[in-house]
Chains A and B, each alone.
Chain A
Amino acid sequence: MSDSSLLLEPVARLIEELGRLPGIGPKSASRLAFFILRAPESKVTMLADALLAVKHQVRQCIRCHYISDQEYCAVCRNPVRQTGTICVVEDPLDALAIERTGSFKGSYHVLHGRIAPLEGMGREDIFFDDLLERIGAESIREVIVATNPNLEGEATAAYLQRELSPLGTRVTRLARGLPTGGDLEWADTHTLTSALEGRRELF
């Protein structure tokens, strides 16, 4: 007997949808599905509303591609933030991690990915050309590359360096206080702050 006939179609469908989420395997998906099945309807409605709200009310900042509820995100709208310095990150969560340190006063640029040759992810799959445009339009003096301290992050940083330095922009990389192989998102505030302060020229 197949799983879906044993499970009823709506349950099987929920498990399938949950299983598409990153980090959720078939076992976790089933567990979540049965949790939702047991939960009171009011709780499930709240969850469903939250899911739709994030889709309807949140979009990407048209300048830096960080998440926003308006055309420009809170950082880009803030008049106190310095112009002239951009911190480039892979994901919105990485921008959030750096923002929590409170030591960075410029603006961000979220690539929404990284150059990952083994996955076939190249320059056209990330917000790279937008960054080039910004550098020209906003007369950027320094680009701090805060991609993850692993090989893909280094490849992305090296690629940015190669494309950006001919434009006369200073390109720096977070200092090696960060252990290699990890994700920026997991780094603690203290480590990140010192990595920002000790940033170095690329190559």
Chain B
Amino acid sequence: MGERLYRCDGIILKRIDVGEADRIVTILTPQGKIIATARGVRKTQSKLSGHLELLSHCQLQLAVGKTRDVLTQSIAVERFAQLQQQLVRMAAGYYVAELTDTLLADEDAAAQVYELCLVALRTLCTSTSVEMALHWYTMQLCDAVGYRPQLVDCAVCGSTLDQHANLWSAVQGGMLCPNCARSDIQATRVSLAVFKVLRLVQRESLSYVIALEVPAEVHATVFVILRRWVMRHSERAIRSAQFLDDVRSQTF
């Protein structure tokens, strides 16, 4: 029987247990998201089992299936083991996985998201600023999938924003200039530091922003703004956010 096989690189975003020992695995690949069946992986003697952990970067071989493709081989090339060695990094890893799975819908953005995700995971393993890495990844991911907030020009009138801009409006799609304050009476008042962090994580590389020292309350506000922004576009809650908040409160 001619099984049609193909190979690809991927990052494991989600696993759901099915049946006795099988798993349905969601994989981010440069070509798009794949949802595949992995047979028998929950048995500890399974060859595949150690090579399909959440967020592992793997080389995969799949067989084309009728309803779903079937994983036939997997070799973990990067396991991001440091993510498992500290609770807050682990929580950040879950958050990255869920954000990516939730926001990435169409294939066009996959190659870019795949690269961003690898950069973010590598940095999360070593960096001391887990928060900045998460801001950066959230912002870059939003950009890649078409949810880029307006941070350079006013979201309403389009005039160039300066240091006097202090209102964030998710409804209008970004920051507002002082003249447009009335366009959203529920806009959030933000400090200049918050505005700057938002702009930097949109514009700069991760290695640049990771070196910046930012007060904890600024991080907290940026977190809330970006999380609500994501939820507004995904139209669902980010479940791992609670665990992240829980472990973040004490570890930083």
* A188: chain B residues within 8 A (beta carbon): 44-45
Known contacts A182-B43, A183-B21, A183-B42, A118 near B49 by CB under 8 Å: no
A115 near B243 (CB under 8 angstroms)?
Answer: yes
| Cross-interface CB contact of A117 among B84, B85, B94, cutoff 8 Å | B94
B85 near A203 (CB under 8 angstroms)?
Answer: yes
B240 near A118 (CB under 8 angstroms)?
Answer: yes
B window 29-73: CB within 8 A of A: 41-46, 48-55
A177 nearest CB neighbor, chain B only:
B44
A window 137-176: CB within 8 A of B: 149-151, 154-155, 158-159, 162
CB distance from A93 to the nearest CB of B (A): 12
How many A residues, CB 8 Å from partner? 29
* B53: chain A residues within 8 A (beta carbon): 150-151, 180-181
A window 24-38: CB within 8 A of B: 25
A179 near B239 (CB under 8 angstroms)?
Answer: no
The list of the 3 closest CB pairs from A to B, nearest first, reads: A182-B44, A117-B240, A181-B49
A-B CB contact pairs (8 Å), 23 listed: A23-B19, A117-B239, A117-B240, A118-B97, A118-B239, A120-B242, A122-B243, A122-B246, A155-B87, A155-B91, A179-B44, A179-B49, A180-B53, A181-B48, A182-B43, A182-B44, A182-B50, A183-B42, A183-B43, A186-B43, A186-B45, A188-B44, A188-B45
Show the binding face of A for B, using Cβ within 8 Å. Answer: 23, 25, 115, 117-120, 122-123, 149-151, 154-155, 158-159, 162, 178-184, 186-188, 191, 203
Show the binding face of B for A, using Cβ within 8 Å. Answer: 14, 18-21, 41-46, 48-55, 84-87, 90-91, 93-95, 97-98, 239-240, 242-244, 246-247, 250
